[in-house]
Amino acid sequence: MIATGSTAPDFALPNQARETIRLSDYRGRRHVVLAFHPLAFTPVCSVQVQTYEREQPAFDALDTQVLALSTDAGPSKKAWADSLGGVSYHLLSDFHPQGQVARDYGVMRDDGLAERAIIVVDKSGVVRWAKRYEMPEQPPIDELLEVLRGL
């Protein structure tokens, strides 16, 4: 997994609306939460995405942008967002080349899925916190918000 203190590798990935989102778009403007997750439409991932949607006011108050990434194809991300009643932040597809961003951050599994991992990148583009979770484990929102408050 990428080490804290490292410069976060830039990337350009499509979101659920087929817009290209670049990590560097946020440099100097907002902290970024990279929420890697295994698969769309699964229970733990769905709760995680809905939790971040519910907590958007807290993320906004902390100058933070959430980017949720998985190796799912773009159309799956769109269908998943729609099935959840809409998602206001970016669900990114790390589909092609398969899992390249997950590999760059050291969270790609041998089976082609991204680990469940949270990486916090500060406004200057430096990794300030990184943690891997077990696949069935829900990352605690309080833990993440506490990290962001410390930036």
Tell the burial category of 125 from Cβ atoms under 10 Å away from its Cβ (0-12, 13-18, 19+). Answer: middle
Whether 45 sits among the annotated catalytic residues: the reply is: yes
Tell the burial category of 39 from Cβ atoms under 10 Å away from its Cβ (0-12, 13-18, 19+). Answer: middle
The pair phi, psi for residue 74, each rounded to 5°, is -55, -45
Give residue 66's region: left, alpha or beta (phi > 0; psi -120 to 50): beta
Single out the catalytic residue among 45, 102, 108, 148: 45
* Number of alpha carbons in the 13 Å side-chain half-sphere of residue 40: 24
Q: Just list the catalytic residues.
A: 45
